[in-house]
Amino acid sequence: MLNEWEAIIPPYDPGSYNVRLADSSHPLDFRIGRDYRGRFVFQLDAECAEPGALDLPKMSAMTCEVEPAGDGRSRFVLTLSNAADFRNFALMCKSLMLATDKFTPSQAREGLLQAVEEVHRWQEMLRQRADRLLSKTERIGLFGELLFLRDVLSDRLGWNAAIRCWNGPGGHEQDFVVAGSIFEVKTQVVTADRRIRISSEDQLDPVQGRILLCNQGIAPLPSVDPAARTLNLLVSEIRDAMAQAGSGAPELLDIALLEAGYEERQDYDEESWVLVDRTYYEVCGTFPRIERSDLRPGVDMVKYSIRVSDCVPFTVSDDDVFGGIIQ
């Protein structure tokens, strides 16, 4: 979509747009284009009873407006003010389309409301991300999820399907969902006393479906070692592999990385890691965990740790993990 957008020629008439359908397979009428000043625009036409009542975000890098489109319809228009922000703008627009791809054409109004909500989410995400480095715990967590994406899912599903299984960066409770099975990926530096940190009472609650815990151990390694990977190098290699596969996966990867708070920085080249082990546990029966039903009224936002040694009885093989999921 990025290349198609850049190829669009601005119109000559003031106040006009040169637009084309963003994706013919999408159920809603999203369009990409440029205005007469050459600025990039993103549009969605829909019926909207009270367009003036919409809570439109205010952002310095772009304008967000609703204007009449004729036949009782309204046009939601995002216009990029600063061309230097084009890539993030384009990725945000792609994210809007992903967030609304389950609506039907008759639900365009609901899709417009969802699109506005998604812009608000991106506004907050970009605000929080400004000049912020990921913590070491966040870097290790992201490194581990990228390893799982590369080593486990891409070989089995292909890059395009694999990246669509990754939910973690978007703030979802589950890291990956593959054909209805939930994968929680927990990565830590190898130590004598390994523990898995759980971030909420819902994360390992089987009421959500089958849950598999992928526990990965990594160890620091000098960057000159051929097996070592920095976070930046791992991202670059995955992006290149996706591009060679010839799919739209690189855009989805970049959206996920932005949602995770990652942008390439020299600081992320100062540490390099190697995968030491990867073990799967099935969360079932008496697996050590807290469920929401275990809590007394008023208790929530629970964080706790599990000893890896107590998970051993629940170990499952690769065949057991993926046999019933991926044919």
Closest CA to 173 of 26, 17, 301: 301
- Diameter of the chain by CA atoms? 71
Closest CA to 109 of 150, 69, 137: 69
Q: Is 29 exposed, middle or buried (0-12, 13-18, 19+ CB in 10 A)?
A: middle
pLDDT in tens, the chain (327 residues): 667 888 899 898 888 899 999 999 999 999 999 999 999 999 998 887 666 667 888 887 889 988 877 777 888 999 998 888 898 899 999 999 999 999 999 998 899 889 999 999 888 888 777 667 899 999 999 999 999 999 999 989 999 999 999 987 766 678 999 988 999 999 999 876 789 999 999 999 888 889 999 999 999 999 889 999 999 999 999 999 999 887 788 999 999 999 898 989 999 999 999 999 999 999 999 999 999 899 999 998 999 999 999 999 999 998 889 886 765
Element (H, E) at 106: none
Q: Number of helices and strands (H, E) in the chain?
A: 9, 12
pTM: 0.84
Q: Is 56 exposed, middle or buried (0-12, 13-18, 19+ CB in 10 A)?
A: middle
Q: Where are the domains of the chain?
A: 2-129, 137-322
